[in-house]
Structure 1
Amino acid sequence: MKLLIVSDSHGDRVILKELREKYQYDVDLMIHCGDSELRAVDPALKGYSIVKGNCDYDEKFSNELLLGVKGNKIYVTHGHLFQIKSSLLKMSYRAKELEADFVFFGHSHLLKAEMIEGTLFLNPGSILLPRGGNEKTYAIVEKEKLVCTVRFYNEKHEELTELGVVYS
């Protein structure tokens, strides 16, 4: 299984189109964790599974998605409804309730990958407005058998090798 995860693009159509062109035939799913600031019918969002962020106003977006890919349960939410800037606790309760293998979220504009009780929690950072001295980023998650690899990339599609992590 191979997934592209992006978040907090805040109106940047160009990068979303560029990511789609680069990865659409290379990944099983393209996920946007909210704050696209685009309408659900915007062509830049074609091919993305997307949730509603606190800066999204199109009612066609859902606050959360539960997706299945190759036997894996993937929970996607923006994070603002779970106060993720304080703690992942509330979101982890929801993940347990859904029996999620992966939780993808945004909102804080801070990239993060953490394994909590066998579930990968991942924030790809922001592809437009990063915080914490980080670059503009997105993530690629690959799972093969029992090994899960997380790679972060900047907007030039250069891998940030020092930030990657492997869980087995």
Structure 2
Amino acid sequence: MKYMFASDIHGSAFYCGKMLEAFEEEGAGRLVLLGDLLYHGPRNDLPKEYAPKQVIAMLNEYKHRILTVRGNCDAEVDQMVLEFPIMADYGILTEEKKTFYLSHGHIYHEGNLPPLQKGDIFVYGHTHVLRAENKDGQVYLNPGSVSLPKEGNVPSYAILNQSVFTIKGFDGTTIKELEI
């Protein structure tokens, strides 16, 4: 199955719309959201077209195709309006004999790794900085941020198609690619 990974929408209706357009254009079967869906958080500026209620409606239309984990800006009140589960601190996805450990990145991160085995893939968000790297026998993947990228990055998402992880900007350009 082809997967799209995205993180840190932070209530931006503009970038949520771009993300969903890319999801349709890519033809992915599942959209994996790595947290921070509706609110911008106290350390972030308001993203473009900050409209959490619109984001709720947009995401709920895709509820049968979304897998997600909780971000540090996600709360129980968010779960009351979203029609798909968002409160898990982590998720595990297996695909073609590979194990993906999904996390927002505020609990489990490189300084506090989950129980990974050699060859496992750690997919996270939170930093708003994209990453695709093999390190010490494990793979670290971060699709960057949909709405509030940091360190000079552009708004981005990632596609996993068979064994290739590709990070892309919303203009369709490939930013980084890694075979896993």
Taking structure 2 as the reference length, what is the TM-score of the superposition?
0.71
Give, in angstroms, the shift of residue 26 of structure 1. Answer: 2.0
Q: CA RMSD in A?
A: 2.7
Runs of 4+ in 1 over 4 A off after TM superposition: none
CA deviation string 1:107-130 (max 9, x = no partner) = 110111111344321111111001
Q: Distance in 2 between matches of 1:149 and 1:66?
A: 18
Q: Distance in 2 between matches of 1:116 and 1:132?
A: 21
Q: Which one of the candidate residues 89, 100, 105 is aligned to 2:124?
A: 105
Check if 1:50 corresponds to 2:68.
yes
- The normalised TM-score by structure 1 is 0.75
Gaps of 5+ in 2: 39-51, 80-84
Structure 1 residue 78 and structure 2 residue 104: aligned?
yes
2:116 maps to which residue? 95
Q: How does 1:9-158 map to 2 (within 5 A)?
A: 9-24=9-24, 26-37=27-38, 42-45=56-59, 46=63, 47-58=65-76, 60=85, 61-82=87-108, 84=109, 88-91=110-113, 93-96=114-117, 101-143=120-162, 148-156=163-171, 158=172
Percent sequence identity over aligned pairs: 27
Q: CA deviation at 1:28?
A: 3.5
Give, in angstroms, the shift of residue 18 of structure 1.
4.4
Query: How many residues matched?
Result: 153
Structure 1 residue 14: Cα displacement: 4.6
| 1:18–1:165 Cα change, 3 Å | closer
Whether the 8 Å contact between 1:74 and 1:100 is mirrored in structure 2 is no
Distance (whole Å) between structure 2 residues aligned to residue 26 and residue 102 of structure 1: 22
